[in-house]
Amino acid sequence: MEPFAPPDTALKSRAPFATDEATWLAPATAIAAVVLGHALQVNNGNFAPDAILWLTVTLTLVVGAVAVRRSRRFLSLDTTVLPWLCSAGLLVQAAQLYTAPPGYDLRQSDTLLTMFRWGPIALAALGLWLVWGPRRRVPWLVIALFLALHAAMGTTVLRDSTKNVIDVDVFHRQSIAALRAGENPYTLTFPDIYSHPEFYGRGMSVANRLQFGFPYPPTTLLMSMPGTLLFREHRYAALVAVELTALLMLLMQPRGFGLFAALIYLTSPRIFYLLQMSWTEPFVVLGLAAVAWAANRHQRLVPWLFGLFLGMKQYMVLAVPAAWLLWSVSGSADASRDWRGAARWLATAAIIPAVVTLPFVLWNLDSFMHSVVMLQFYQPFRSDSLSLLAWWTSLGHLPPSSAIPFGVAAIASALAVWRCPRTAAGFSAAIAITFLGFFAFNKQAFCNYYFLVIGALCVTLAAYTPREPSRH
């Protein structure tokens, strides 16, 4: 892509160590996204000793990226190193897509076999052309071809996937059907397709029936509905969200590192498995990308999009401290001291989640609280989680306190707000380290949890503002 030269005024208005390029964010997040993707590849995001090792490496990289400032002599390193890191990551992830099934228990159709025999090779070739090809103009035709091929691969996986292979798929299908019929999705009960009551906690599965309604906030349910309405398959909405996220990465810093971020994100080896399993994280990553894009391009939209982002998952409350970095993007020299302005900003951010959520709360308060809030406390410790606590119990120890992940998240969040630059990239990096710490020390943590972190790492790279002109 065309060389990127940030305006001098943008650099002069910030302290020397408050800018993106004064950190190790770009190279560290690029590497960490690939390493964490490999950790998920080991056992589909479930517990495995090798996966725990790669998770630990990811933690080290992300903490180092946030905590360690680099000296001025390394400030121009990114534009030299990032193309090589992206190329290496692209080839590694394309090889993982080629050598492992893209999903679980798929029908082995001729289309699927052909698509995943040649698709990863084509993605790698197109990606390398985008990284190293002519830079005189943005090669949007090649980008469109890359996105179209990726979407075709995702479509093939969804078409060859059986329904109801996971409880989340059941939750979505029956909740969307109920909402279309005018019924409250939070008053439903669902079949226990696993026949393992211990998966949900004591009293949550009775007579092979789950005693709770839709277990997520309504935002992601409403975002899934267009897939059913337009394509008769709610998971297509998540596929569209993935492609839109990549586009936002490309547009975030048109002459920055958005291309590298999009390539790493789209070729993450468990991305099609994530879509097949109906998990909602593609919508959450899209929300994060939208916030970072607005912080770089249309700052008036930031509080509204941040509010939408907050309303997507119960644990998004942990993202609130990182909002301080977004508020500081406003550019006012006294913004960090304007508490009233910050309060107004947060109040604006609260409008969208309140408007979306309040009707469902008022519809049936008890059912909503039971399904969305209290259910999280009933969830048992899972020894098959990709979690350092699961590794601890595998050594013969008892499960530790469930307060540990909240303590780790608080420490990670404080570190991020203290050390991250007050930029869109700094905000996304704060999200990455907060939730990586929260999940890595949690009682439950699986592929979808960490896909949010991979997305946040890629958004950090895309939002990053390099100092020196970039060839890409």
What are the pLDDT digits (tens) for 344-397? 888 999 999 999 999 999 999 999 999 999 999 999 999 999 999 999 999 999
Measured CA to CA, the distance from residue 431 to residue 433 in angstroms comes to 6
Measured CA to CA, the distance from residue 463 to residue 60 in angstroms comes to 22
pLDDT average, residue stretch 140-158: 96
Q: Is residue 450 part of a domain?
A: yes
Measured CA to CA, the distance from residue 399 to residue 187 in angstroms comes to 32
Measured CA to CA, the distance from residue 176 to residue 171 in angstroms comes to 8
The tokens of 294 are what? 């607005």
End-to-end CA distance of the chain: 4
* Number of domains into which the chain is organized: 1
Residue 114 has pLDDT above 50, yes or no: yes
Q: Is residue 48 part of a domain?
A: yes
pLDDT on residue 137: 60
Measured CA to CA, the distance from residue 269 to residue 279 in angstroms comes to 16
Question: What distances in angstroms separate CA 233 from CA 167, 193, 227, one per listed residue?
Answer: 16, 20, 5
Q: What is the DSSP letter of 373?
A: I
Q: Is residue 240 part of a domain?
A: yes
Q: Is residue 468 part of a domain?
A: no
HSE of 282, CA atoms in CB hemisphere, 13 A? 30
Residue 174 has pLDDT above 50, yes or no: yes
Q: Is residue 122 part of a domain?
A: yes
Measured CA to CA, the distance from residue 390 to residue 398 in angstroms comes to 10
The domain of 389 spans 8-463
Residue 10 has pLDDT above 90, yes or no: no
What are the pLDDT digits (tens) for 241-277? 999 999 999 999 877 899 999 999 999 999 999 999 9
Q: Is residue 472 part of a domain?
A: no
- CB distance 348 to 303 below 8 Å: yes
What are the pLDDT digits (tens) for 43-87? 999 999 999 999 999 999 999 999 888 877 777 788 889 999 999
Q: Is residue 2 part of a domain?
A: no
Q: Is residue 227 part of a domain?
A: yes
Exposed, middle or buried by CB within 10 Å (0-12, 13-18, 19+), for 97?
buried
**Contacts of 41-46 spanning 24+ positions with Cβ under 8 A:** 41/96, 41/100, 41/269, 41/270, 43/386, 44/104, 44/270, 44/273, 44/447, 45/270, 45/386, 45/446, 45/447, 45/448, 45/449, 45/450, 46/384, 46/385, 46/386, 46/446, 46/447
